[in-house]
Structure 1
Amino acid sequence: VDADHIGLKTVDSFLAGSNFYTLDVADFVGETPDAADVDAFIAANKKYTGALQIPGIVTPFEVTEAKLREVAGKFLVAIKGAKAIYDHIVAAKGADNFITEVSVDETDLPQTPIDLFLILSMIAAEGIPAQTIAPKFTGRFNKGVDYVGDLAQFEKEFDEDLFVIEYAIQEFGLPETLKLSVHSGSDKFSIYPIIKKLIAKHDAGLHVKTAGTTWLEEVIGLAEADGEALQIAKDVYAGAYARFDELTAPYATVIDIDKAQLPTPEAVQGWDSEKYVNTLRHVQSHPDYNLNFRQLIHVGFKVAAEMQERYTDALKANEAVIAKNVTENLYQRHILPIFS
């Protein structure tokens, strides 16, 4: 059970029920570290300056003291913050009773392979036995829709990151189970063949963190059920449309919605079940599919939550059709394309 993107202020609510913790240090990225900590990091990693040849990567990385200082300046406080969260969880649960993931994906720019290597050096130095690491990759990982970016560049980057993971395990004594984590990884159908090929090449594990794809399948199931369930789906959209700025603001970096391409709530009220389902379901070849509509529904979960029993009773009443959609989506469209 994943406690997703938790910090010291939020972790206590998840101590009893979770056994996987994604340590979110985004708020600390870029904070100025103590000069003594920077000097200690540089001293510990000075042996990697010059031409660093990571096994498997053809071109050596040129690592300078300035590069060490740059990475320390951006991530050192963040990783020390991760250590504080980790220690808090250990005190409550014991060190062997949970899995630790460190997330550095919520940054402005993607990390290079050498950035990742040095971040893993920090994690090891802090004594965090991370089993998964979530870097920021090249391209857009928008919520609930396909990857947008250069596929060739993503493949090169992902391949090199896997070589970095292998080398860091040996160099820093990190857990042998350390693996990459792809955040907002659901619905990124165009990169799944690349990921499948590369994890097979490296015999590597993988963690794919979904981006609300099951919530979207719930809404699809309600729409497919027709009647009052379809009306609930329509009302979720109407509420999200009316509260567009409020609901999209927290996700500004991971959604791209063209408001001009959104149907009006009045138009949606006139849709039948088939039209609603085909507009929301992630089948890009279907003429009704609308990625703007899909992203707005994605961030509109608060509207459904505020319906309380009206929404949850509808889920119970339509469990069979919802379960069919959820299962088919996760198994056929996510698990099999990556792991089969």
Structure 2
Amino acid sequence: MQLEKLTFGVGDRFAHQAAAQLRAFQQAADSGVDVVPVWNKSNREHQFVGSEPASVKAAAQVAVNDLGWSKSWYVDADHIQRSTVDPYLNCSDFFTIDVADFIGNAIDEEAITRFVDAHGELIGELNLPGMQAAYSVDREFVTRVARQYLGACQAAGDIYRYIADAKGEDNFIAEVSMDETDSPQTPPELMVILAALADQKIRLQTIAPKFTGRFNKGVDYVGDVQQFDREFNEDLAVIAEAIRRYQLPENLKLSVHSGSDKFSIYPVIREAIQNKNIGIHVKTAGTTWLEELIGLSEAGGDGLELAKEIYAYSLGHIDELCSPYASVIDIDPSALPSVDEVNGWDGPKLASTLRHIPHDPQFNPNVRQLLHVAFKVAAKAGDRYLDLLKANEAIVGEQVTQNLFDRHMKPLFIG
């Protein structure tokens, strides 16, 4: 199983928007660009809303059948570890192996020495096409990086082999994720990591490092875009070299996690992949849930009323809702409107506050981030929320499709 060049992760918290999402991929194809959908939902999200992993594939399959989609599509076991992978084995063909929890774990010093001794090619000057300047890499540096990441790479190998034993090595896509950690990986660190993953015999098709800057949920990139540009292009150079050195899969590509709504870096990504004629995996997710809220707000009536109730509850339980996502949100509580103020808004006002159009004076990124992590509040509403999605399917679906195609796929892949 070989992952295609351009792949784009989409999440669907409540399994109602797969068709609306797929229409965006159809629009991209009509525009001359083939982008492959990868439906994803993490174990944490399943637990929050009370769903099962198989529901993701089931919803996607219905959409594929109903819309006559004849091209590739995948279902991602998102951010899995050994303890959580079993329920995904029969319903997923893309596995994001998350080893961030193993970064920095103690590892036998003899294993580190064996790794460094076996990889003398890592020591010296790292100066590849596409790099602005050379990096000087000595044995001490490689040892330090191995001490930090070798345990995580070994954990990735253990999980990979477990999946391969269950499914067969030819029957799934493997991604390794190291993005949910405190410190970004530099290009020379990425080279050491790729050498260690190659030692584990992982058929690695995408790698998700942590980049410099903040990738907060559902809002734009926060950081130095020029620095990201340099880092992104140098990581691409490292991957190309690692493929050559370590016989990693030729289609190995970068994966950008929490990639939704990172509008300011989309031109950087598009220019890099077009100039180099290479692929990318961009993982977005929760914006679909926000588009549902936007659609319900626009619909007015009971939909608007429930959206306001969800905001009121979220504001009253902000710490509880935000604590699991503390590393990927940045909310200024003083910029959140009061419940009374929001209760006085009409549907278009609430929709404009949530819809991510950065230059719209009504857009409030703090409200958007708070409601981004509040999807389990809608889950508590149960059938009331789901029935409103069904009753307002057309307007909600329009928001979902427009958001994915106009604000994501076009700037990323078309321009």
Contact 1:224 1:277 in 2 (8 A): yes
Aligned to 1:91: 165
Q: How does 1:183-262 map to 2 (within 5 A)?
A: 183-262=257-336
Within 5 Å, which residues of 2 pair with 1:260-339?
260-339=334-413
Contact 2:211/2:228, CA 8 A, preserved across alignment? yes
Which amino acid in structure 2 is aligned with residue 15 of structure 1?
Answer: L
TM-score (norm 2): 0.80
Task: Decide whether the 8 Å contact of 1:55 with 1:167 is kept in 2.
Answer: no
Q: Deviations over 1:255-303 (max 9, x none)?
A: 1000011012222122110110010000111111100000000000010
- Contact conserved, 1:196 with 1:339, CA < 8 A, in 2? yes
- Aligned residue for 2:358, secondary structure, equals coil
Q: Are the counterparts in 2 of residues 138 and 149 from structure 1 also a CA contact under 8 Å? A: yes
Residue 183 of structure 2 is aligned with which of 109, 113, 119? 109
Conserved? CA contact 2:132–2:230, under 8 Å: no
Q: Does 1:176 align with 2:250?
A: yes
Counterpart-to-counterpart distance in 1, 2:333 and 2:346: 22
Partners of 2:183 and 2:221 in 1: how far apart? 16
* 1:51 aligned residue: 125
CA distance in 2, matches of 1:252, 1:243: 14
- Of 104, 109, 113, which aligns to 1:35? 109
Q: Deviations over 1:300-321 (max 9, x none)?
A: 0010111111111111111111
**Equivalent residue for 1:67?**
141
Q: Could you say which structure has the greater relative contact order, defined with CA pairs below 8 angstroms and 6 or more residues apart?
A: 2
Alpha-carbon distance in structure 2 between the residues aligned to 1:336 and 1:55: 28
Give a deviation string over 1:211-268, Cα, whole Å, max 9, x none. Answer: 4111111111111111001111111111211111111011111110000110122221
- Which aligned segments of 4 or more residues in structure 1 are displaced greater than 2 angstroms? 52-60
What's the counterpart of residue 207 of structure 2?
133
The structural deviation recorded for 1:338 is: 1.1
**Aligned letter for 1:242?**
G
Are the counterparts in 1 of residues 122 and 142 from structure 2 also a CA contact under 8 Å? Answer: no
Asked if 1:100 is matched to 2:174, the reply is yes
Query: Which amino acid in 1 is paired with 2:314?
Result: A
- Percent identity, please: 55
Q: Distance in 2 between matches of 1:122 and 1:335?
A: 33
Structure 2: unaligned runs, 5 residues or longer: 1-74
Structure 1: where are the runs of 5+ without partners?
none
Q: CA–CA distance in 2 between the matches of 1:47 and 1:186?
A: 37
The residue type paired with residue 368 of structure 2 is R
8 A contact 2:130–2:233 mirrored in 1: no
Q: In structure 2, what residue type is equivalent to 1:328?
A: Q
Answer yes or no: is the 8 Å Cα contact 1:192–1:337 preserved in 2.
yes
Size of the aligned set, in residue pairs, is 340
Residue 16 in structure 1 maps to residue 98 in structure 2: no
Quote how far apart the aligned CAs of 1:88 are. 1.4
Q: 1:148 maps to what in 2?
A: 222
Cα deviation, residue 60, structure 1? 2.3
Deviates more, 1:80-89 or 1:50-59: 50-59
For residues 90 and 277 of structure 1, the distance between their equivalents in structure 2, rounded to whole angstroms, comes to 45
CA drift at 1:56 = 3.5
Whether contact under 8 Å (1:162, 1:202) holds in the other structure is no
Query: How far 1:106 moved relative to its partner?
Result: 1.2
Q: What is the alpha-carbon distance in structure 2 between the residues aligned to residue 244 and residue 59 of structure 1?
A: 45
Bigger mean CA offset, 218-227 vs 52-61: 52-61
Distance (Å, rounded) in 2 between the aligned partners of 1:314 and 1:139: 38
Is the 1:113–1:157 Cα contact (8 Å) retained in structure 2?
A: yes
- The residue identity in structure 2 corresponding to 1:259 is P
CA RMSD of aligned residues (A): 1.0
Q: Residues of 1 paired with 2:145 and 2:196: CA distance?
A: 10
The counterpart of 1:164, out of the listed 222, 235, 238, is 238
Q: Which residue of 1 aligns with 2:39?
A: none
Paired letter, 1:161: D
Q: What's 2:32 paired with?
A: none
In 1, the alpha carbon distance for the partners of 2:84 and 2:413 equals: 33
The one-letter code sitting in structure 1 at the alignment partner of 2:191 is F
